Structure 1
Amino acid sequence: MAKVVQERRPIRALEFFSGIGGLHYGFHLSGVLGEVVSSFDVNTVGNEVYRHNFNKDPNNVSILFSQFTSIDTLSAKDIDRYQANCWLMSPPCQPYTRGGKMLDDQDPRAKALLHLIDILPKLSQPPEYIFLENVLNFETSRSRIILLTQLDSLSYTVHECLLSPLQFGIANDRLRYYLMARRRSAGPSADPTTKYSERAMVHTRWPFEGEEVSYEPVELARVLEQGVDEMEEFRVPEKDLLKSFDFRFDIVRQTDRRTSAFTKAYGSRHFYKAGSILQTKQIDVTSYDFTNPSTLIPLGLRFFTPLEVARLHAFPVPPFGAQPDPPSEPEQPAEPRSFRQPTSPPYLEFPPTVTTIQRHRLLGNSLNCWVVGELLRCVLFKMKSEEVNEW
């Protein structure tokens, strides 16, 4: 096995299942030279937000296509036109979630991902880099095996992990699956022992090798908006609390350094298991009687605002309130960084036509931009020039 040094070309990325642009923001945070040249999604509200912030239409309708084109109808010729060397993907999670039927590759919502996997060898030049994000359980899915088998056949080097933003110093426990694949230049291997799918390892520590880093998240007070606690819009309605007999949900205070994962149901009357609820009164009360919901009413429980959730997901937003301390700079470009709340444009901002419920839903379907950025920077795009194993 020899090693060659390969100079990196600027990245031309396609963003599939783009939503509100979480992968696009993560790409910016990675600092890699390049651009997201186009994105694809069927969610019209998400596309509206994406257009508002990036000034470009998902699906690039006006340039390439005479009508709306969904991912599962894209041809190899359609994709080849972009001359992209990187794919960023965050496919629908419903086929793999515990709350769903877990139909996996038999779920219609997995069709688009399976189509992209199938189309890879049909491209004139398969992407050099592939990044995929999904939920816990994807790592045990048939869809993953189909993907890994295809990546093996095209001679990709693969890294997989299950990581939470807590491991990066962010006060949100959102465990997610990530895959990073980089194509080797020497073509498919004739040696079956090199097949990643037969010796796969899903990392659960950060970084994957060397000494594990440990960052303490900042207190939640650092992400909270001012003047929100008494706003009716964000209070948990008393009538919904009183109906929640023995439903144990996550109550946090502004001095805490952790929140649970926010889902697309957050902000609705189905608030249990949808994300953390903030306690704004009687802060000395830390023990809760969920069998007597009336005792929870005096605690001033409220939902996190969309802007607060966005900050916990590390989206770049306009600065407000006290800012986190700047991180210590790493000695080498590819070393892990301590978290710093992104505050540089392009910002995540919602058009006024998008309601609060829609904002919570879109954020619950999104991802953590900082985690994506660090995995791109430290793993997928490791150096400006890199050593690639030639088999």
Structure 2
Amino acid sequence: MITCLEFFSGIGGLHHALNVAGIDASVAKAFDMNEVANKVYQHTFGSAPSNKAIDRLTVKDIERYNADCWLLSPPCQPYTRGGKLQDSEDQRAKPLLHLITLLPKLSILPRYIFLENVKNFECSQSREALVNQLDSLDYYIQECLLSPTQFGIPNHRLRYYLIARRRDTPSDSEGYIERAIIHECWPFDGERIEFKTPSISAFLDLEETDAEQHLVPEKYLTKSNNFRFDITKPSGHQTSCFTKAYGSHHIQTSGSMLQTKNLEVSSYDWAHPESLLSLGLRYFTPTEVARLHAFPMPPWKNETTDTQEPSVNSITPRQYEAPHCTPHLKFPDDIKIIQKHRLLGNSLNCWVVAELYRCLMFID
């Protein structure tokens, strides 16, 4: 069994992805300072993450777990416009940089390292420090920018991923960063695969469609003249990226809204946003967002039932199927809807990560 450490664990997306991928692995310890996320993580997995600051972890703190694998999803703000693109000068980048400096001090290096972050990380100083350190320690590195839409999931969420495996023998080649390729197609090599993408209706809670608590407030719509909201219908096959601000008054850039009435209307009068009020626009529920992010969930009535035959080759890319492996993602009863949206907006797509685990990282 592979023993993992999960840094910046959030609600456990990287942990869930191990189960979705069917990897024989366990998470010895997770680390995060977000109290609400840690509460959800413990409620789901039954173990509480450490809230010790990651940039204060010592070699002794890490070596006590004898981990074969590091899973990392560090804060994205240092690499976004909203975070002012301060990169390594941002205090929120310090924990990752600290882990990078700790690596060569370990008596036994982890065999596997996986990192997820936003687009722009690939051109950051933090990424440069990371890949240079991994290269010097004889890791085989692969990098990519991929979205769930490329895997047959109707949600656009472009993210950077790094997959690193320790070489059995030292490599003669040097200077990885000068010859690095950031892959933007899935799979990386070989013939392109056209995955079937289910409609959005396959992810919906139909009984909640008209729930008052999920309707977009009228005041948020009518104040936004000439803004082209991302409106999608149950019959559609794509949603935009959900951010941590989803479900709040930040409706212009935080994710798609679902049209539940007058479904024959497809042409919208953006100059007169009051015309949108008859469309029954609502937010996707946290449960629906979690499904679109491919978190393991209990089976639901409306999900797609198409299944595929298991592949003889375990590293063959799979057609998306709703994952139901346990444990399921579970929120404690006292977590508010807006908190759920915030946590999910900060998380990742478990299916994408699971496929990268299966096909690229755990292939020894």
Aligned partner (choices 105, 118, 137) of residue 122 of structure 1:
105
CA distance in 1, matches of 2:230, 2:353: 26
CA distance in 1, matches of 2:267, 2:303: 30
The answer for the alignment partner of 1:163 in structure 2 is: 146
TM-score (norm 1): 0.91
CA distance in 1, matches of 2:103, 2:83: 28
State the 1:156 CA deviation. Answer: 0.5
Aligned partner (choices 265, 273, 280) of residue 285 of structure 1:
265
State yes or no: 1:26 paired with 2:9. no
CA distance in 1, matches of 2:94, 2:240: 30
CA distance in 2, matches of 1:375, 1:151: 18
Q: What is the one-letter code of the residue matched to 1:25?
A: H
Q: What is the one-letter code of the residue matched to 1:116?
A: L
State the 1:109 CA deviation. Answer: 0.5
Q: What is the one-letter code of the residue matched to 1:252?
A: T
Aligned partner (choices 32, 37, 41) of residue 28 of structure 2:
37
The answer for the alignment partner of 1:256 in structure 2 is: 236
CA distance in 1, matches of 2:184, 2:46: 37
CA distance in 1, matches of 2:308, 2:34: 36
User: 1:268-283, aligned counterparts within 5 Å?
Assistant: 268-283=248-263
CA distance in 2, matches of 1:96, 1:262: 18
Which digits, 9 at most, give the CA deviation of each residue in 1:247-300, with x for residues without a partner?
A: 222000000011000000000011111000000011111111222110100000
Paired-residue identity, %? 55
The answer for the alignment partner of 1:379 in structure 2 is: 360
CA distance in 2, matches of 1:272, 1:214: 31
SS in structure 2 at match of 1:83: coil
Structure 1 unmatched runs, 5+: 1-9, 60-67, 387-391
Q: Is the 8 A contact 1:328 1:338 kept in 2?
A: no
State the 1:33 CA deviation. Answer: 1.5
Q: Is the 8 A contact 2:215 2:280 kept in 1?
A: yes
User: 1:119-268, aligned counterparts within 5 Å?
Assistant: 119-187=102-170, 189=171, 191=172, 193-268=173-248
Q: Is the 8 A contact 2:244 2:342 kept in 1?
A: yes
Q: Is the 8 A contact 2:19 2:326 kept in 1?
A: no
CA distance in 1, matches of 2:250, 2:24: 43
Aligned partner (choices 293, 315, 335) of residue 316 of structure 2:
335
CA distance in 1, matches of 2:104, 2:342: 35
SS in structure 2 at match of 1:49: helix
The answer for the alignment partner of 1:346 in structure 2 is: 327
Which digits, 9 at most, give the CA deviation of each residue in 1:28-71, with x for residues without a partner?
A: 11212221111000110000000000000101xxxxxxxx5111
CA distance in 1, matches of 2:333, 2:214: 17
State the 1:195 CA deviation. Answer: 2.8
Q: Is the 8 A contact 1:327 1:339 kept in 2?
A: no
The answer for the alignment partner of 1:64 in structure 2 is: none
CA distance in 2, matches of 1:267, 1:32: 34
Q: What is the one-letter code of the residue matched to 2:42?
A: R
- Greater mean alpha carbon deviation, residues 293-302 or residues 283-292: 283-292
CA distance in 1, matches of 2:81, 2:344: 19
Please provide the CA RMSD for this pair. 1.1
State the 1:322 CA deviation. Answer: 2.5
State the 1:365 CA deviation. Answer: 0.2
- Greater mean alpha carbon deviation, residues 297-306 or residues 89-98: 89-98
The answer for the alignment partner of 1:5 in structure 2 is: none
- Greater mean alpha carbon deviation, residues 344-353 or residues 81-90: 344-353
